């Protein structure tokens, strides 16, 4: 698979962000955008199957319906459609008949099926593939994908995993979110984490202390792992779960791996956080790596679950980064 250009990568990430927004708006995690050759975004569309009470309201079909009513044929023909997930047969057909000539997608149909399984509520199509449709007509449509699979998959994993998160775990994650709010009250950045044993008893809590501790290394999760190594036994750490208000960065993920942790649950994703922080000097959010890439790349695989409770975890961030 050919590598994406920097422009294509940026635009595909924006489509992935739209998929996260779709979930926040009460729908399933699919998003798409259309951009002109210069990389200017022309249109965006989310899935609206739930709120629109119409199972045909897929993100890409919504986008093509919008395109044919607001753009001229030349604009569509020279544009690229970026979508968070490989389009189904219906959406691929809408691109063909709508006059599109290029499409870039994130996770594949096979990636999606691995997450959704045989869930009849998702009814993921398989075995057709968008290329078979988009390259079977009287004109050949350029298709590029899959790309940024881990980033595109994260919101799906969280969306479908949320139905499996127990009430106890939701309570513990909410407590980590409370710690992130307390961190701000104590003069620091809005991140919080805790460790709990298998019975749900909280062992340790830690806030971010970048500002008051005068060190940009004092992230909540890294602070927590330092504290855990000092106060807990290796067995206690190995059997505990770390709950954190936000997807951990590479540094924090590394501290979990080297500290002997085996399981972690997080709230909002790195992509969610980026929407609020951007390149803020206090938190120049990392992108493109993802905690799973770090925590599942070693000689032992750390279980990762998230994102969850995105709206709740995001509340403090919505106001903090604008003040």
Q: How far is the C-alpha of 23 from the C-alpha of 48, rounded, in Å?
A: 10
Q: How far is the C-alpha of 256 from the C-alpha of 113, rounded, in Å?
A: 29
- Whether 305 contacts 170, CB under 8 Å: no
Closest CA to 173 of 308, 322, 32, 29: 308
Determine whether 60 is an active site residue.
Answer: yes
Sign of the Cα pseudo-torsion (163, 164, 167, 169, in order): negative
- Whether 148 contacts 262, CB under 8 Å: no
Catalytic residue among 60, 86, 109, 221: 60
Q: What are phi and psi of 16, to 5 degrees?
A: -65, -40
**Residues near 139 by beta carbon (within 8 Å), at least 6 away in sequence:** 101
> Hey, what are 171's tokens?
């309570």
Q: Which residues are catalytic?
A: 60
């Amino acid at each position: 698979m050919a590598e994406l250009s920097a422009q294509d990568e940026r635009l595909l990430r924006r489509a992935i962000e739209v998929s996260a927004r779709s979930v926040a708006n009460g729908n399933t995690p699919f998003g798409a955008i259309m951009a002109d050759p210069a990389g200017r975004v022309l249109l965006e569309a989310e899935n609206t199957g739930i709120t629109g009470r119409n199972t045909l309201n897929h993100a890409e079909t919504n986008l093509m319906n919008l395109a044919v009513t607001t753009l001229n044929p030349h604009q569509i023909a020279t544009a690229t459609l970026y979508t968070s997930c490989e389009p189904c047969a219906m959406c691929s057909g809408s691109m063909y008949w709508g006059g599109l000539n290029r499409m870039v997608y994130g996770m594949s149909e096979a990636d999606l099926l691995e997450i959704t399984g045989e869930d009849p509520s998702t009814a993921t199509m398989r075995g057709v593939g968008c290329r078979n449709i988009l390259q079977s007509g009287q004109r050949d449509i350029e298709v590029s994908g899959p790309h940024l699979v881990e980033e595109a998959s994260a919101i799906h994993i969280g969306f479908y995993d949320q139905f499996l998160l127990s009430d106890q775990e939701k309570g513990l994650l909410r407590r980590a979110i409370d710690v992130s709010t307390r961190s701000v009250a104590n003069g620091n950045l809005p991140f919080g984490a805790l460790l709990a044993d298998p019975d749900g008893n909280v062992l340790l809590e830690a806030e971010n202390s970048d500002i008051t501790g005068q060190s940009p290394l004092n992230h909540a999760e890294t602070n927590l792992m330092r504290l855990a190594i000092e106060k807990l036994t290796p067995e206690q750490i190995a059997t505990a779960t770390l709950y954190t208000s936000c997807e951990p960065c590479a540094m924090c993920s590394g501290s979990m791996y080297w500290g002997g942790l085996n399981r972690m649950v997080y709230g909002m994703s790195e992509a969610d956080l980026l929407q609020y922080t951007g390149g803020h000097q206090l938190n120049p959010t990392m992108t493109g790596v993802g905690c799973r890439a770090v925590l599942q790349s070693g000689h032992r695989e750390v279980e990762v679950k998230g994102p969850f409770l995105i709206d709740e975890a995001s509340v403090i961030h919505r106001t903090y980064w604008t003040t």
